[in-house]
Amino acid sequence: MAEDDLSQVEKLESGLYELEPTPTHDAVFEQLVDSNEKSSQPKRPSSTGLGLSQHSAIWYLTRIQKYSTYVFSAFAVMHITNTSLIPLALQSVPASEPYLLLTRPYYQGPPAEPLVVMLPLYSHIISGLALRVLRRNIAAERYGEAHSKENKASFFTRFWPRVSGISKLGFAFSPLVIGHMFINRAIPNHFYKDADNVNLSYVSHAFARHPVISYTGFTALLGVGCFHIVWGWAKWLGWTPDQITDTSGHRAVGKKRRWYAINGIAAAVTGLWMAGAFGVVARGGEAMGWVARQYDEMYRMVPIVGRWM
Protein backbone atom coordinates (compact mmCIF):
# COMPACT_ATOMS: atom_id res chain seq x y z
CA MET A 1 0.00 0.00 0.00
CA ALA A 2 2.87 2.34 0.88
CA GLU A 3 4.56 1.58 -2.41
CA ASP A 4 1.42 2.55 -4.35
CA ASP A 5 1.15 5.85 -2.46
CA LEU A 6 4.80 6.54 -3.12
CA SER A 7 4.44 5.89 -6.84
CA GLN A 8 1.48 8.27 -7.00
CA VAL A 9 3.51 11.01 -5.26
CA GLU A 10 6.43 10.51 -7.63
CA LYS A 11 4.16 10.82 -10.66
CA LEU A 12 2.62 14.03 -9.34
CA GLU A 13 6.02 15.56 -8.61
CA SER A 14 7.32 14.67 -12.08
CA GLY A 15 4.21 15.98 -13.82
CA LEU A 16 3.62 12.66 -15.55
CA TYR A 17 0.52 10.58 -15.00
CA GLU A 18 -0.57 7.42 -16.85
CA LEU A 19 -3.95 7.73 -18.54
CA GLU A 20 -6.19 5.15 -20.24
CA PRO A 21 -5.85 5.33 -24.04
CA THR A 22 -8.98 6.92 -25.57
CA PRO A 23 -9.61 8.28 -29.11
CA THR A 24 -9.19 11.99 -29.41
CA HIS A 25 -12.07 12.32 -31.89
CA ASP A 26 -14.87 10.24 -30.42
CA ALA A 27 -17.55 11.33 -32.89
CA VAL A 28 -15.43 10.57 -35.93
CA PHE A 29 -14.35 7.22 -34.52
CA GLU A 30 -17.93 6.19 -33.77
CA GLN A 31 -19.03 7.11 -37.30
CA LEU A 32 -16.26 5.00 -38.80
CA VAL A 33 -17.19 2.03 -36.66
CA ASP A 34 -20.88 2.40 -37.52
CA SER A 35 -20.15 2.64 -41.24
CA ASN A 36 -17.92 -0.45 -41.12
CA GLU A 37 -20.57 -2.40 -39.26
CA LYS A 38 -23.25 -1.37 -41.75
CA SER A 39 -21.08 -2.29 -44.72
CA SER A 40 -20.31 -5.71 -43.23
CA GLN A 41 -24.00 -6.48 -42.67
CA PRO A 42 -26.01 -7.86 -45.61
CA LYS A 43 -28.27 -5.28 -47.20
CA ARG A 44 -31.95 -5.93 -46.82
CA PRO A 45 -34.55 -4.49 -49.15
CA SER A 46 -36.21 -1.63 -47.38
CA SER A 47 -39.38 0.19 -48.23
CA THR A 48 -40.22 3.82 -48.60
CA GLY A 49 -43.26 5.50 -47.16
CA LEU A 50 -45.13 4.71 -50.35
CA GLY A 51 -44.51 1.00 -49.99
CA LEU A 52 -42.07 0.82 -52.92
CA SER A 53 -39.02 -1.33 -52.32
CA GLN A 54 -35.68 0.20 -53.23
CA HIS A 55 -35.01 -1.60 -56.51
CA SER A 56 -32.93 -0.35 -59.38
CA ALA A 57 -34.30 1.51 -62.38
CA ILE A 58 -33.69 -1.58 -64.54
CA TRP A 59 -35.91 -3.63 -62.20
CA TYR A 60 -38.82 -1.22 -62.63
CA LEU A 61 -38.32 -0.72 -66.37
CA THR A 62 -38.19 -4.46 -67.01
CA ARG A 63 -41.52 -4.97 -65.26
CA ILE A 64 -43.11 -2.03 -67.04
CA GLN A 65 -42.01 -3.47 -70.36
CA LYS A 66 -43.27 -6.94 -69.43
CA TYR A 67 -46.62 -6.18 -67.84
CA SER A 68 -47.57 -3.58 -70.43
CA THR A 69 -47.62 -6.41 -72.96
CA TYR A 70 -50.31 -8.19 -70.96
CA VAL A 71 -52.79 -5.35 -71.44
CA PHE A 72 -51.90 -4.72 -75.06
CA SER A 73 -52.13 -8.45 -75.83
CA ALA A 74 -55.68 -8.49 -74.45
CA PHE A 75 -56.51 -5.64 -76.81
CA ALA A 76 -54.86 -7.50 -79.70
CA VAL A 77 -57.05 -10.54 -79.04
CA MET A 78 -60.19 -8.40 -79.19
CA HIS A 79 -58.92 -6.65 -82.30
CA ILE A 80 -58.14 -9.82 -84.24
CA THR A 81 -61.56 -11.15 -83.27
CA ASN A 82 -63.36 -8.08 -84.66
CA THR A 83 -61.26 -7.51 -87.76
CA SER A 84 -60.50 -11.08 -88.80
CA LEU A 85 -62.22 -13.95 -87.01
CA ILE A 86 -65.78 -12.61 -87.12
CA PRO A 87 -65.54 -11.46 -90.77
CA LEU A 88 -63.94 -14.79 -91.64
CA ALA A 89 -66.78 -16.69 -89.98
CA LEU A 90 -69.59 -14.55 -91.45
CA GLN A 91 -67.91 -13.92 -94.83
CA SER A 92 -69.48 -10.46 -94.93
CA VAL A 93 -68.33 -6.99 -93.94
CA PRO A 94 -71.85 -5.55 -93.30
CA ALA A 95 -72.76 -8.55 -91.14
CA SER A 96 -69.59 -8.09 -89.09
CA GLU A 97 -70.15 -4.39 -88.35
CA PRO A 98 -72.59 -4.90 -85.42
CA TYR A 99 -70.05 -7.05 -83.56
CA LEU A 100 -67.41 -4.36 -84.01
CA LEU A 101 -69.80 -1.79 -82.55
CA LEU A 102 -70.60 -4.05 -79.57
CA THR A 103 -66.98 -4.41 -78.48
CA ARG A 104 -65.85 -0.90 -79.42
CA PRO A 105 -66.66 0.64 -75.97
CA TYR A 106 -64.21 -1.78 -74.35
CA TYR A 107 -61.14 -0.41 -76.11
CA GLN A 108 -62.14 2.80 -77.91
CA GLY A 109 -62.96 6.14 -76.40
CA PRO A 110 -62.16 7.49 -72.93
CA PRO A 111 -61.11 6.06 -70.58
CA ALA A 112 -60.73 2.64 -72.22
CA GLU A 113 -58.59 3.62 -75.20
CA PRO A 114 -55.87 5.49 -73.25
CA LEU A 115 -55.66 2.76 -70.60
CA VAL A 116 -55.93 -0.32 -72.81
CA VAL A 117 -54.11 0.83 -75.96
CA MET A 118 -52.15 4.07 -75.65
CA LEU A 119 -50.59 3.73 -72.20
CA PRO A 120 -49.44 0.09 -72.56
CA LEU A 121 -48.05 0.69 -76.06
CA TYR A 122 -46.05 3.80 -75.26
CA SER A 123 -44.93 2.38 -71.90
CA HIS A 124 -43.60 -0.70 -73.66
CA ILE A 125 -41.71 1.32 -76.27
CA ILE A 126 -40.24 3.92 -73.90
CA SER A 127 -39.22 1.38 -71.24
CA GLY A 128 -37.54 -0.75 -73.89
CA LEU A 129 -35.50 2.18 -75.18
CA ALA A 130 -34.57 3.24 -71.64
CA LEU A 131 -33.49 -0.30 -70.75
CA ARG A 132 -31.12 -0.46 -73.69
CA VAL A 133 -29.45 2.83 -72.75
CA LEU A 134 -29.14 1.92 -69.06
CA ARG A 135 -27.72 -1.52 -69.75
CA ARG A 136 -25.22 -0.08 -72.20
CA ASN A 137 -24.08 2.53 -69.65
CA ILE A 138 -23.72 -0.07 -66.90
CA ALA A 139 -21.68 -2.33 -69.16
CA ALA A 140 -19.45 0.61 -70.12
CA GLU A 141 -18.84 1.43 -66.44
CA ARG A 142 -18.02 -2.17 -65.57
CA TYR A 143 -15.89 -3.16 -68.54
CA GLY A 144 -14.91 0.17 -70.08
CA GLU A 145 -15.62 1.40 -73.57
CA ALA A 146 -15.90 -1.43 -76.03
CA HIS A 147 -14.11 0.55 -78.72
CA SER A 148 -10.75 2.24 -78.60
CA LYS A 149 -10.02 5.77 -79.76
CA GLU A 150 -8.20 4.37 -82.75
CA ASN A 151 -11.30 2.49 -83.83
CA LYS A 152 -14.18 4.82 -83.11
CA ALA A 153 -17.50 3.19 -83.85
CA SER A 154 -20.64 4.76 -85.16
CA PHE A 155 -23.37 6.13 -82.94
CA PHE A 156 -25.40 2.91 -83.05
CA THR A 157 -22.58 0.61 -81.96
CA ARG A 158 -21.25 2.92 -79.25
CA PHE A 159 -24.56 4.09 -77.83
CA TRP A 160 -26.65 1.03 -78.67
CA PRO A 161 -26.11 -2.51 -77.35
CA ARG A 162 -26.42 -5.56 -79.56
CA VAL A 163 -29.96 -5.83 -80.89
CA SER A 164 -31.75 -9.17 -80.64
CA GLY A 165 -34.20 -10.47 -83.19
CA ILE A 166 -37.18 -9.64 -80.96
CA SER A 167 -35.93 -6.07 -80.54
CA LYS A 168 -35.43 -5.67 -84.28
CA LEU A 169 -39.02 -6.75 -84.86
CA GLY A 170 -40.14 -4.32 -82.15
CA PHE A 171 -38.30 -1.41 -83.73
CA ALA A 172 -39.91 -2.19 -87.07
CA PHE A 173 -43.34 -2.73 -85.53
CA SER A 174 -43.43 0.55 -83.57
CA PRO A 175 -43.78 2.95 -86.55
CA LEU A 176 -46.16 0.53 -88.27
CA VAL A 177 -48.58 0.28 -85.36
CA ILE A 178 -48.38 4.01 -84.60
CA GLY A 179 -49.08 4.77 -88.26
CA HIS A 180 -52.00 2.35 -88.22
CA MET A 181 -53.45 4.11 -85.17
CA PHE A 182 -52.93 7.50 -86.79
CA ILE A 183 -54.78 6.52 -89.97
CA ASN A 184 -57.63 4.62 -88.34
CA ARG A 185 -58.09 6.64 -85.14
CA ALA A 186 -56.41 10.05 -85.18
CA ILE A 187 -57.51 11.14 -88.66
CA PRO A 188 -61.17 10.06 -88.25
CA ASN A 189 -61.32 11.68 -84.81
CA HIS A 190 -59.90 14.92 -86.24
CA PHE A 191 -62.18 14.82 -89.24
CA TYR A 192 -65.42 13.78 -87.56
CA LYS A 193 -64.72 14.81 -83.96
CA ASP A 194 -66.30 11.42 -83.24
CA ALA A 195 -65.07 8.39 -85.17
CA ASP A 196 -67.82 6.00 -84.07
CA ASN A 197 -69.16 5.86 -87.63
CA VAL A 198 -65.77 4.75 -88.99
CA ASN A 199 -65.87 0.96 -89.25
CA LEU A 200 -64.67 -1.91 -91.41
CA SER A 201 -66.01 -0.25 -94.56
CA TYR A 202 -63.41 2.49 -94.03
CA VAL A 203 -60.68 -0.15 -94.39
CA SER A 204 -62.45 -1.88 -97.28
CA HIS A 205 -62.62 1.42 -99.13
CA ALA A 206 -58.83 1.84 -98.86
CA PHE A 207 -58.20 -1.64 -100.26
CA ALA A 208 -60.56 -0.99 -103.16
CA ARG A 209 -59.20 2.45 -104.07
CA HIS A 210 -55.52 2.02 -103.14
CA PRO A 211 -54.72 -1.71 -103.24
CA VAL A 212 -50.92 -1.49 -103.55
CA ILE A 213 -50.44 0.79 -100.57
CA SER A 214 -53.06 -1.02 -98.49
CA TYR A 215 -51.80 -4.55 -99.12
CA THR A 216 -48.18 -3.53 -98.60
CA GLY A 217 -48.89 -1.67 -95.37
CA PHE A 218 -51.13 -4.33 -93.84
CA THR A 219 -48.78 -7.16 -94.83
CA ALA A 220 -45.91 -5.45 -93.03
CA LEU A 221 -48.08 -4.55 -90.04
CA LEU A 222 -49.53 -8.02 -89.53
CA GLY A 223 -46.37 -9.95 -90.34
CA VAL A 224 -43.97 -7.94 -88.19
CA GLY A 225 -46.52 -7.45 -85.41
CA CYS A 226 -47.54 -11.08 -85.05
CA PHE A 227 -43.96 -12.35 -85.07
CA HIS A 228 -42.89 -9.74 -82.51
CA ILE A 229 -45.78 -10.53 -80.18
CA VAL A 230 -45.40 -14.31 -80.42
CA TRP A 231 -41.62 -14.20 -79.91
CA GLY A 232 -42.08 -11.72 -77.06
CA TRP A 233 -44.49 -14.02 -75.25
CA ALA A 234 -42.12 -16.92 -75.80
CA LYS A 235 -39.43 -14.89 -74.09
CA TRP A 236 -41.63 -13.99 -71.11
CA LEU A 237 -42.57 -17.67 -70.72
CA GLY A 238 -38.96 -18.85 -71.04
CA TRP A 239 -39.53 -20.78 -74.27
CA THR A 240 -37.07 -19.13 -76.64
CA PRO A 241 -34.17 -21.23 -77.98
CA ASP A 242 -31.62 -19.26 -75.96
CA GLN A 243 -33.50 -20.00 -72.73
CA ILE A 244 -33.25 -23.76 -72.99
CA THR A 245 -31.68 -25.28 -69.86
CA ASP A 246 -30.64 -28.65 -71.27
CA THR A 247 -26.85 -28.94 -71.18
CA SER A 248 -26.60 -32.35 -72.81
CA GLY A 249 -25.84 -33.10 -76.41
CA HIS A 250 -29.52 -32.62 -77.29
CA ARG A 251 -29.35 -28.87 -76.60
CA ALA A 252 -28.83 -27.98 -80.27
CA VAL A 253 -31.78 -30.14 -81.30
CA GLY A 254 -33.97 -28.58 -78.62
CA LYS A 255 -33.05 -25.07 -79.72
CA LYS A 256 -33.90 -25.89 -83.31
CA ARG A 257 -37.25 -27.38 -82.32
CA ARG A 258 -38.17 -24.31 -80.31
CA TRP A 259 -37.16 -22.03 -83.19
CA TYR A 260 -39.40 -23.89 -85.63
CA ALA A 261 -42.27 -24.10 -83.11
CA ILE A 262 -42.28 -20.38 -82.31
CA ASN A 263 -42.02 -19.37 -85.94
CA GLY A 264 -44.73 -21.84 -86.84
CA ILE A 265 -47.11 -20.37 -84.27
CA ALA A 266 -46.29 -16.83 -85.42
CA ALA A 267 -46.87 -17.78 -89.06
CA ALA A 268 -50.20 -19.43 -88.15
CA VAL A 269 -51.42 -16.33 -86.28
CA THR A 270 -50.32 -14.10 -89.15
CA GLY A 271 -52.07 -16.30 -91.69
CA LEU A 272 -55.26 -16.40 -89.64
CA TRP A 273 -55.33 -12.62 -89.31
CA MET A 274 -54.62 -12.15 -93.01
CA ALA A 275 -57.32 -14.65 -93.96
CA GLY A 276 -60.03 -12.47 -92.47
CA ALA A 277 -58.42 -9.12 -93.30
CA PHE A 278 -57.47 -9.88 -96.90
CA GLY A 279 -60.00 -12.55 -97.70
CA VAL A 280 -63.09 -10.70 -96.47
CA VAL A 281 -62.50 -7.09 -95.36
CA ALA A 282 -60.23 -6.20 -98.27
CA ARG A 283 -62.87 -7.48 -100.70
CA GLY A 284 -65.68 -5.46 -99.17
CA GLY A 285 -65.55 -2.92 -101.97
CA GLU A 286 -65.70 0.86 -102.14
CA ALA A 287 -68.06 2.98 -100.13
CA MET A 288 -70.70 4.87 -102.06
CA GLY A 289 -71.77 8.52 -102.41
CA TRP A 290 -71.10 11.01 -99.64
CA VAL A 291 -69.44 8.43 -97.40
CA ALA A 292 -66.91 7.62 -100.14
CA ARG A 293 -66.02 11.29 -100.56
CA GLN A 294 -65.49 11.63 -96.81
CA TYR A 295 -63.23 8.56 -96.77
CA ASP A 296 -61.19 9.93 -99.69
CA GLU A 297 -60.66 13.23 -97.91
CA MET A 298 -59.51 11.45 -94.78
CA TYR A 299 -57.01 9.28 -96.65
CA ARG A 300 -55.55 12.38 -98.32
CA MET A 301 -54.56 13.54 -94.83
CA VAL A 302 -52.14 10.62 -94.47
CA PRO A 303 -48.54 11.95 -94.45
CA ILE A 304 -46.21 11.13 -97.37
CA VAL A 305 -48.47 8.68 -99.23
CA GLY A 306 -51.64 10.78 -98.91
CA ARG A 307 -50.85 12.72 -102.09
CA TRP A 308 -51.32 9.50 -104.08
CA MET A 309 -54.52 8.49 -102.32
What is the pLDDT, as a whole number, of residue 52? 52
What is the pLDDT, as a whole number, of residue 51? 47
What is the pLDDT, as a whole number, of residue 27? 44
What is the pLDDT, as a whole number, of residue 102? 81
CA 249, 255, 260, 266: dihedral to nearest 10 degrees? 160
3-state secondary structure of 47: strand
**What distance, in Å, lies between the first and last C-alpha atoms of the chain?**
116
Mean pLDDT, 10 residues at a time, over the chain (309 residues)?
50 50 45 45 46 76 94 93 94 92 78 89 95 83 59 52 87 96 89 72 94 95 97 95 83 92 98 96 93 91 78
What is the pLDDT, as a whole number, of residue 159? 56
Q: Tell me the domains of the chain and their CATH numbers.
A: 57-308 (1.20.1300)
In order of 1, 13, 14, 17, the CA distances from 6 in angstroms are 9, 11, 12, 13
| pTM recorded for the entire structure | 0.76
